[in-house]
Amino acid sequence: MAERARDQVCRTALDTSPGARACTSAEIPVSGTMAQVQYDCSRGNHPNVTNSTASPVGHEQIQLLLRVCKEAKKSAYCPYSRFPVGAALLTGDGKIFSGCNVENACYPLGVCAERTAIQKAVSEGYVNFRAMAIASNTEEDFIVPCGACRQVMREFGRDWDIYMTKPDGTYIVKTLQELLPLSFGPEDLKKF
């Protein structure tokens, strides 16, 4: 059920066009396996990362994430690419951090919206994530996270969901595991 639903392309409640319908949380489970501890990251001075979810992300929270990432896109600093992106990151305890891409005249220093949101959250003490939504202005395709962002997301577990949207409010949702299979993460450093 979870796998089937993940590939669905849904219209959201924000989309009022004819034929649009709201996705229910039952159709879009955020996590196939609940209460599963991803790993115990006990090194260093930050809390354990357990991005397992006590309950699936509800419809209202998904709608909120979709709105917040669209809003965050308005803050994008992208004078070079002119490609604004917004992100909204939902933490395990229900807090939402927004992010936008922040470019630089020294091009490689630019940061994607997804990483901005993650860095904001981590710097405030949050490392347990349930979901992230991403928005861009691309009408034809769902915005997908770049490889670097997938790896940064993966640091915080594999069992959380990424909502990739179009401006019309439709989206697809995939887990980190689906976006970055056979990944390298913190637990691999403990294997030697």
> From residue 95, how far is each of 52, 125, 180, 184 by CA, in Å?
15, 11, 25, 27
CA–CA gap between residue 131 and residue 66 (Å, rounded): 11
Select the residue interacting with ligand THU from 65, 113, 153, 162 (CB under 6 A). 113
101 in a labelled binding site:
yes
In the list 8, 55, 81, 104, the residue contacting ligand THU (rule: CB under 6 A) is 81
Contact flag: residue 110 with ligand THU (CB under 6 A): yes
The answer to whether residue 185 forms part of the interface with ligand THU (CB under 6 A) is no
Residue among 3, 27, 60, 114 flagged as catalytic: 114
- For ligand THU, give the closer residue by CB, 107 or 192: 107
Residue 180, interface with ligand THU (CB under 6 A)?
A: no
Residue-wise DSSP of 66-117: HHHHHHHHTT-B-TTT---EEEEEEETTS-EEEEE-B--SSGGG-B-HHHHH
> Which residues, 143 to 162, sit near ligand THU by CB under 6 A?
143, 145-146, 149
Q: Which residue in the block uniquely carries the two structure tokens 């929270």?
A: 61
For ligand THU, give the closer residue by CB, 53 or 101: 101
Nearer to ligand THU, 41 or 66 (CB): 66
Locus of tokens 């979810």: 53
Q: Should residue 176 be labelled a site residue for ligand THU when binding is judged by CB under 6 A?
A: no
114 touches ligand THU (CB under 6 A): yes
Provide the edge-to-edge strand list for the sheet that holds 161-165: 96-100, 85-91, 129-136, 161-165, 171-175
In a 3-state reduction of DSSP, which class is residue 87? strand
Spatial distance between the Cα atoms of 25 and 33, rounded to a whole number of angstroms: 15
114 annotated active-site: yes
Say if residues 129 and 99 touch (Cβ distance below 8 Å): no
Site residues, ligand THU (CB under 6 A): 78, 81, 83, 85, 101, 103, 110, 112-114, 134, 143, 145-146, 149
Annotated binding site: 101-107, 112, 146, 149
Annotated binding site for substrate: 101-107
**Catalytic machinery residues:** 114
